Structure 1
Amino acid sequence: MVHDLYQNSINVLDNKLLFINISSVEVGKHLYWQLGNYQVHGQVFMVTWLVIFALLSIAFVGTRDLKRIPENYQNFMEYILEFLQDIAKNQIGEHEYRSWVPYISTIFLFILGSNWAGALIPWKLIQLPEGELAAPTNDINTTVALALLTSFAYFYAGLRKNGLGYFSRYIEPTPVLLPINILEDFTKPLSLSFRLFGNVLADELVVSVFTLLVPILIPLPVMILGLFASSIQALIFATLSAAYIGEAIEGHGEHE
């Protein structure tokens, strides 16, 4: 009996050590920055800041000399604004969409800028001590953070519009669906984050492989296709975010 207890203890210890070893597995190399007790991926922050700076610069140049009759660049900026307003209006509704245009626009433009930065700029030419520069959306931490922002946004939208009655949707049309309705709120951010991460990563891998195999002309059509796919991914993320917010605002499945 003592031998059995000893053997069981050894098995438990081995299982714990195996779990610790698995949990410490790291995919790829990263340039780590130490911020207090936390380590962050430095290469992601560097490209993120560049994308944000580029977006702010474009916005500043496009709005510094506004005219009553728009011309040239102002026309382009107003077209982009109308396009983003249409996304919010179609998914959230005529009466509620205006307050959500800044969020939907920011999500779309940041993801689009990040995806295009990874597709257009040859980051691999810049050598880092560890890891390599790439699109911020190529990192699962970025896409999960964006998806969680959307989760917080639609919870906030539902509670602001319907109060605590928002949670009654979990037992509609029948309380039997309570576990499924709760699970749905966990699958939404997972779906958003992994869809974006997987598509951006796959696109960059395909371009990298074609560049290594045929480094002259063949990668160009693939890069153009990657730009198109990157734009579609930004549109899908922004549209789904707006749709989730609109669903939360509706409440009880009734359109206003």
Structure 2
Amino acid sequence: MQLIKYNKVVIQKFMSDFLLNPFSEIAEVSVGQHFYWQLGSYEVHGQVLLVSWFVLAVIFGLSFVGNSNLKSTPDGLQNFTEFVTEFIRDLAKTQIGEEEYLKWVPYLGTVFLFIFVSNWSGALLPWALIELPNGELAAPTNDINTTVALALLTSISYFYAGIRKKGLRYFNRYVQPAAFLLPINVLEDFTKPLSLSFRLFGNILADELVVGVLVSLVPLIIPIPIMLLGCFTSAIQALVFATLAGAYIGEAVEDHH
């Protein structure tokens, strides 16, 4: 499978680009082979957009069907969609607090569902059967650009939440509990999106590589338990990302006394 070949030269290319020209060349480092679309002077990963649109269509379709004919006593798909909604509301309430959580349920719900469906699409659907001129279809979260984008959106969200509630007083957090902690508190804002993006990307990529290797070596029976474990870890990764996003937003709106 082409996915197995994705990372053979990534580390060497990353190090050479970083050492030679860390500011202008590092953005060109790419993980694996991709099906590129040319949009003007820009190249985008077409296979990521294709699967992302599929994921969004699945989420929209289930939401529309489950809520198109609402009943006072939910059953079937409506029962499932209400369960998911309550789960996300409880998650937001726990991490953000009763006063602010309702404003952030849509964001946390969107992030959780997109990552969850994306991860499961990579774990359950045989994307390799669809041939592309270059690269192959896989979970959108298997691409570092997707996870970095989600992490940056989370960073923007908690900055927005803090400034919206506290105004410029929000920036007092950088000198609390002591002014000499300013560099550490600033560095924390850089480490949060890095940890969010690379944790999700690394786990999903590693899972797909392990399954790909086992399928190529032992095609029958053995990969099945690994695939089931991959579905479980994929769900956990979606939950971890949404939980941390909620925790960061909750920290931003928290009143310090």
1:180 corresponds to? 184
1:154 aligns with 2:162: no
Shift of 1:25: 5.6
2:90 corresponds to? 86
Query: How do residues 104-253 of structure 1 correspond to structure 2 at under 5 angstroms?
Result: 104-252=108-256
Q: Summarize deviations over 1:20-64 as a string: whole Å, max 9, x none.
A: 697566442111111122110000000000000011000001000
Q: Summarize deviations over 1:159-213 as a string: whole Å, max 9, x none.
A: 0110000001100111100000000000000000000000000100111011111
Report the secondary structure of 2:38's partner residue. strand
**Between the two proteins, what is the percent identity of the paired residues?**
64
Report the secondary structure of 1:66's partner residue. coil
Distance 1:210 1:195, change over 3 A: same
Letter in 1 for 2:206: A
Shift of 1:217: 1.1
2:36 corresponds to? 32
Q: Summarize deviations over 1:115-149 as a string: whole Å, max 9, x none.
A: 00000011111111111111000000000000000
Q: Summarize deviations over 1:55-77 as a string: whole Å, max 9, x none.
A: 10000010001011112221111
Kept in 2, the 8 Å contact 1:158–1:251? The answer is no
2:20 corresponds to? 19
Letter in 1 for 2:135: G
CA distance in 1, matches of 2:183, 2:73: 55
Q: Which is further off, 119-128 or 186-195?
A: 119-128
Letter in 2 for 1:145: A
1:55 corresponds to? 59
Letter in 2 for 1:82: E
Report the secondary structure of 2:211's partner residue. helix
Q: Which structure has the larger Rg over C-alpha atoms?
A: 1
TM-score normalised to the size of structure 1? 0.89
Letter in 1 for 2:20: F
TM-score normalised to the size of structure 2? 0.89
Kept in 1, the 8 Å contact 2:31–2:144? The answer is no
Q: Which runs of no fewer than 5 residues in structure 1 stay unpaired?
A: 1-14
Distance 1:25 1:57, change over 3 A: closer
Report the secondary structure of 2:188's partner residue. helix
1:75 aligns with 2:79: yes
Q: Which is further off, 66-75 or 148-157?
A: 66-75
CA distance in 2, matches of 1:27, 1:231: 23
2:7 corresponds to? none
CA distance in 1, matches of 2:29, 2:91: 40
Aligned residues: 238
